[in-house]
Structure 1
Amino acid sequence: LAAPRSWRGGPRAAMVRRVVSLLSLLLLFLPTLAVATAEPPPPPPPPPKKPQNYAWVMDVCVRHDCFKTGCASLRDSNTGNVTTTAGACVSSCADGGTSLNGTSPREFDAALRVLRWDCASDCKYRCMTAVERARRREGLEPKKYYGKWPFARVLGTQEIVSAVASVANGGAHAWRLPTLTRAAKRRMRFAALWLGFTLVNINAWIWSVLFHCRELPFTHYMDYLGVNIVFFYALYAAFVRAFEPSARRAAALAVAFVAAAVAHVRHVNPPRQRYRYEYNMRAMFALIGAFWVVMLWWAFRGFRFRSRGGGGGGGGG
């Protein structure tokens, strides 16, 4: 629609143009003004709280807090407060420097020193116990730490029940050691074979005691090595007892078993790599299975021989 001619010029038309311009500017800046004067939106809701990963907490407090602040700290997931485990190691325990905040360095008693507990390992143990106490308060199940279930240290011993059981097993073998030694000196048949079997068992149980008292890389290696030697020797003894080879063939068989044992130990414990527990377990099951097959065959053969009135069935021992 065209405007009347009287509006096309003159003051009335100029006023209309000014009003239209002002309205246009107002409409243009109205959204900006609304945003500027509006209240800020509410903050987004916090993400749901994840369950506390206590294994991660322990790893952090051991790797960082022990050597930075001198003790292991733990954040309580219920209160959010950071607590310090009582009696944890201080900085002077770790690096020989001055004590932290005037506190005295942690003193280790004789049992801990003999079993080679130091600041880092003691800090790990105390942090583990603190984490497990927090987990029990929240009704959570125990978790493994560094590949092991939580334990209660007794006189520096990590697994007191297993250590006592290992002593009992080793003592049972040691009890018969004098009898076998006298029999071997008299050159009784197979006495030397079973004397060797007793000695490798005593060696294995000694390392088992040390391993359960204090798990260190060396005691871990020697414990598994002792078990490997026992299983390989058991199968060797079964072959010698069942088939009664000549001395020359028995020596050759011993060399073969020693070579197999060395190859197995090198395979399951490669340098700078994780111990191959699964392979070692399968190999040990295979050895003990072969042992029982040979011994059951020997026992069945002796039973048949005696049932026919053949006498001793291959001699004593």
Structure 2
Amino acid sequence: MNAPSLKLVLLLLFSIVTICAASYGDQQYVYRHCVADCASRTDISELPFYLRLLRWNVQQNCGYHCMHQITQRAIQENTNIYQYHGKWPFYRLYGIQEPASVLFSILNGLMHLRYFQIIRRQVNELYQPLKTYYLITSIIGMNAWLWSTVFHTRDTPFTEKMDYFSAGLYIFYGLCVAVIRIFGLQRRKRATMLISGWTAVCAVLYIAHVTYLSSRSRFDYGYNMKACIAVGSLQTTLWLNWSILQYTRWGKKEQRPFAWMAGLSVVLVSCAMCLEVFDFPPYKGVLDAHSLWHASTIPLAPLFYKFLLKDAELDSLSKVDISKKRRLS
């Protein structure tokens, strides 16, 4: 999949997500009447402790039950199933709104934790100056999946923003690391100045991105999607082109037989995102396209981390050989 087609797929994907946000279900008279009637007959003290712990109120709890009553009727009558407040009708688990997405987000986070520990143990910072950047990649990945877990557990304006901001940070930082590694800034003269300068540029861009979104009276979903698409597409294009270059005569200076891992991982992640295009009501009220997208990324993270480890190992061996030759001479 080349960069233009990837961008087209991503634009289609996020257009669908934006359209879905304007849901019809919660606009129905039958739903609104049901919620109003339920709320008038229910006291907050009647809610189970775990619901109150996760800050469910009477209105929201009534909305949950009314949504499923209407959905069950639609299934029996074979009529359309609608979204409510921008979400499909999921079955919650002890107050957790989207249990499958929560589970898969936790597993993704654990995968980043595993490779954080492996990188810390196996990569020698004396021979691989980017070790700190790779460790921070894992930390930012863990943070992104932590907030994904929180958001899918309980959707509030705050948890939604933290989910978006954390995912954005992972994308922006990914571009930062991609440029440093692909263009070999760590090997150039004044490497520290170049790396620090580029990192500062990425940090300023991300801060400006978050500041703009935070200053709006309503969250600008359209802008956020376009910004993430632009940064993510650029990162994907860089890794893909670099990977291909390693198998051509132009890449002979530092040909790496494992470069395919980097290119394949970014392509597979982009393909996995296409699951969101097939937006459908959750199977058995649990599995939907979004949760499957989260599930598909679990086995993909190791592929990129294995590339980083092999890359660091090769750099270490090269520097050890150079040191030996200098000592012998």
Structure 2: which amino acid aligns with 1:293?
Answer: T
Contact map agreement 1:184 1:192 (CA 8 A) in 2: no
Partner of 2:73: 134
Task: Select 1:291's aligned residue among 235, 239, 251.
Answer: 235
> Which of 150, 174, 177 lines up with 2:116 in the alignment?
177
8 A contact 1:144–1:150 mirrored in 2:
yes
Aligned residues: 231
Pick from 54, 65, 74 the counterpart of residue 37 of structure 2. Answer: 65
Q: Percent identity?
A: 27
| Matches of 1:216 and 1:133, distance apart in 2 | 26
Task: State the match for 1:280 in structure 2.
Answer: 224
SS at match of 1:57: helix
Question: Which runs of no fewer than 5 residues in structure 1 stay unpaired?
Answer: 1-51, 71-89, 94-104
1:270 and 1:311, CA in 2 relative to 1: closer, same or farther beyond 3 A? closer
Q: Which residue of 2 aligns with 1:240?
A: 180
Deviations 1:274-302 (A, max 9, x none): x2223322222221211122223333444
Residue 269 of structure 1 and its aligned partner are, at CA, apart by 4.6
TM-score (normalizing by structure 1): 0.65
Q: How far apart in 2 are the matches of 1:139 and 1:305?
A: 60
For 2:195, the equivalent position in structure 1 comes to: 250
Measure, in 2, the Cα distance between the counterparts of 1:117 and 1:184. 46
| In 2, Cα distance between equivalents of 1:249 and 1:307 | 23
Aligned partners of 1:184, 1:114: CA distance in 2, in Å?
A: 42
CA RMSD of aligned residues (A): 2.9
AA matched with 1:266: T
The question of whether the paired residues in 2 share the 8 Å contact of 1:166 and 1:208 is answered with yes
The 1:306/1:118 distance shift into structure 2, 3 A limit, reads: same
Q: Which has the higher helix share?
A: 2
In 1: Cα distance, 2:91 partner to 2:116 partner:
34
Aligned to 1:225: 165
Which of 136, 148, 153 is equivalent to 1:196?
A: 136
Cα deviation, residue 228, structure 1:
0.2
Contact kept? 2:133, 2:177, Cα under 8 Å? yes
CA distance in 2, matches of 1:290, 1:307: 20
* Conserved 8 A contact 2:26-2:85: no
Letter aligned with residue 138 of structure 2? T
SS of the residue corresponding to residue 238 of structure 1 reads: helix
Look up the equivalent residue of 2:70 and give its one-letter code. V
Q: What does residue range 141-180 of structure 1 map to in structure 2 within 5 Å?
A: 141-180=80-119
Q: How does 1:107-122 map to 2 (within 5 A)?
A: 107-110=47-50, 112-122=51-61
Letter paired with 1:150: P
Which residue identity lines up with residue 122 of structure 1 in the other structure? N
Q: 1:186 to 1:309 in 2, by over 3 A?
A: closer
TM-score (norm 2): 0.63
Query: Which runs of 5 or more residues in structure 2 are unaligned?
Result: 1-24, 186-190, 258-309, 313-329
Please state how far the C-alpha of 1:175 moved relative to its aligned partner: 0.8
Q: 2:28 pairs with 42, 47, 55, which one?
A: 55
Deviates more, 1:179-188 or 1:133-142: 179-188
Which residue number in structure 2 is paired with residue 99 of structure 1?
Answer: none
Residues 120 and 187 of structure 1: CA distance in aligned 2, closer, same or farther (over 3 Å): farther
Q: Provide closer, same or farther for how the CA distance between residues 250 and 174 of structure 1 changes in structure 2, counting only shifts above 3 A.
A: same
| TM-fit CA distance, 1:139 | 2.5
DSSP-derived class of the 1:176 partner: helix
Are 1:66 and 1:123, in contact at CA under 8 Å, matched by a contact in 2? yes
Say whether the 8 Å CA contact 1:55–1:145 is kept in structure 2.
no
Say if 2:119 and 2:134, in contact at 8 Å, map to a contact too. Answer: yes
The 1:309/1:113 distance shift into structure 2, 3 A limit, reads same
- Distance in 1 separating the partners of 2:26 and 2:144: 38
In the TM superposition, residue 248 of structure 1 has moved relative to its aligned partner by 1.0
SS of 1:283 mapped into structure 2: helix
State how 1:257-276 maps to structure 2 within 5 Å: 257-273=202-218, 275-276=219-220
CA contact (8 A) 2:90 2:98 kept: yes
Shift of 1:308: 4.4
Identify which of structures 1 and 2 has the higher relative contact order when contacts are C-alpha pairs closer than 8 Å and 6+ apart.
2
* Residue in structure 2 matched with residue 216 of structure 1 by the alignment: 156
Structure 1 CA distance for aligned equivalents of residues 26 and 106 of structure 2: 37
Change (3 A) 1:65 1:270: farther
